[in-house]
C-alpha cells in the first residue's frame, strides 16, 4: 500500500523507514515547515526562571528540540542527573505522548522527572496528560507551556503561540497560573512542481494519507484549493484531526493512536 507521510521533514524519516520496513511504499510530502522562533529572548527568559515553574509542559517533540537548543550550558552539564539541582529541585516535565517523552529523554531530562500518559492510554492528548498530573498541581505556582506559533498567511496567530488552551484553562481552574512561551514556528510548505504533481496523483490513485495534525490538512487545502478529495483515503491520529479531514472532503477517514504500530493495524483494515 502507498502511504503519504505529511509530518515535518525532520520527523518524517523515522516514519518512512518504519513503514517501508513493514512492506509499504511511502512518499514524504511534508505539510508543515518547522523552524526556531525568530525571537528567542522569551525562551532564554523562561530558562532563567527555571526554578520558579512547578512544571514545564511541551506540546510536541519540536517544542522540546527548540526549547532545549537555548538551554544554558551550565544546566546542560547536568543532563540525565535526577539528583542535580536542575532536575531534583526543578520543575516536572510534562509530555502528551511517546514522541515528546522520547525527545525529553534525548534532551537529557531524567526519566524520573517526566510525566506523560500511560503507554496503553486510548489517546495521547491534553486530556490524557491531565489524568496523570492533575493531582500534583499546586495552587499558586506557575506552569510553563512550551508551544509553537502558526505563521499561516490567512490566519496569523498571537505572539504567545497556539495550542493546549484546554490544559491552560484546567490549570487556572485548579489555581495554577498558565504561562506560554513560543519555541518554534510552523509555516506552510513550499512544494516543488514535482511534489505538487505527486500530491495530485496521491489524491486519486488510492494512496493513504497520514495526518498527525489538523494544521497539515489546512495547509493542504491552501496548497490545492481546487482539488476534489472524494476519492482520497486518510489515517488521522486524533478524532479532531479526523473531523478536519472530513471537512476537507476526504472520502474515507480513519482515526487511530499516534504510533507506527497503530497506524499499521489501521492499514490492515484498508487492504
The residue extents of the domains of the chain are: 2-32+191-268, 35-187
Q: Which residues sit opposite 249 in a β-bridge? A: none
Same fold, 2-32+191-268 and 35-187: yes
- Position of cell 509553537? 148
Architecture of domain 2-32+191-268: 3-Layer(aba) Sandwich (3.40)
How confident is the prediction along the chain (271 residues), in pLDDT tens digits per residue?
A: 899 999 988 788 888 999 999 999 999 999 999 999 999 999 999 999 999 999 999 999 999 999 999 999 988 888 888 888 788 888 999 999 888 999 999 999 999 999 999 887 778 888 999 999 999 999 999 999 999 988 765 544 445 544 568 898 999 999 999 999 999 999 999 999 999 999 999 999 999 999 999 999 999 999 999 999 999 999 999 889 999 999 999 999 999 888 888 888 888 877 6
CATH of domain 35-187: 3.40.50.10090
Entry pTM: 0.79
Amino acid at each position: 500500500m502507498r502511504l503519504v507521510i505529511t509530518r515535518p521533514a525532520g520527523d518524517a524519516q523515522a516514519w518512512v523507514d518504519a513503514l517501508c520496513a513493514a512492506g509499504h511504499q511511502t512518499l514524504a510530502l511534508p505539510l508543515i515547515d518547522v523552524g526556531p522562533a525568530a525571537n528567542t529572548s522569551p525562551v532564554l527568559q523562561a530558562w532563567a526562571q527555571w526554578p520558579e515553574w512547578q512544571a514545564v509542559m511541551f506540546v510536541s517533540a519540536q517544542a522540546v528540540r527548540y526549547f532545549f537548543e537555548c538551554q544554558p550550558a551550565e544546566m546542560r552539564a547536568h543532563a540525565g542527573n535526577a539528583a542535580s539541582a536542575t532536575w531534583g529541585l526543578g520543575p516536572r516535565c510534562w509530555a502528551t505522548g511517546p514522541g515528546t517523552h522520547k525527545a525529553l529523554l534525548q534532551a537529557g531530562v531524567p526519566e524520573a522527572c517526566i510525566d506523560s500518559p500511560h503507554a496503553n492510554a486510548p489517546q495521547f492528548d491534553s486530556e490524557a496528560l491531565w489524568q496523570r498530573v492533575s493531582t500534583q498541581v499546586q495552587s499558586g505556582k506557575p506552569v510553563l507551556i512550551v508551544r509553537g506559533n502558526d505563521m499561516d498567511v490567512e490566519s496569523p496567530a498571537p505572539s504567545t503561540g497556539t495550542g493546549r488552551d484546554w490544559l491552560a484553562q484546567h490549570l487556572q481552574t485548579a489555581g495554577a497560573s498558565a504561562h506560554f512561551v513560543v519555541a518554534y514556528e510552523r509555516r506552510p510548505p513550499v512544494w516543488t512542481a514535482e511534489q505538487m504533481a505527486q500530491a495530485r496523483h496521491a489524491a486519486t490513485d488510492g494512496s493513504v494519507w497520514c495526518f498527525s495534525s489538523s494544521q497539515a490538512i489546512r495547509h493542504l487545502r491552501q496548497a490545492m484549493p481546487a482539488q476534489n478529495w472524494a476519492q482520497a483515503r486518510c489515517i488521522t491520529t486524533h478524532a479532531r484531526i479526523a473531523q478536519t479531514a472530513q471537512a476537507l472532503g476526504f472520502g474515507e477517514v480513519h482515526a487511530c493512536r499516534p504510533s507506527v504500530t497503530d497506524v499499521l493495524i489501521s492499514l490492515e483494515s484498508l487492504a
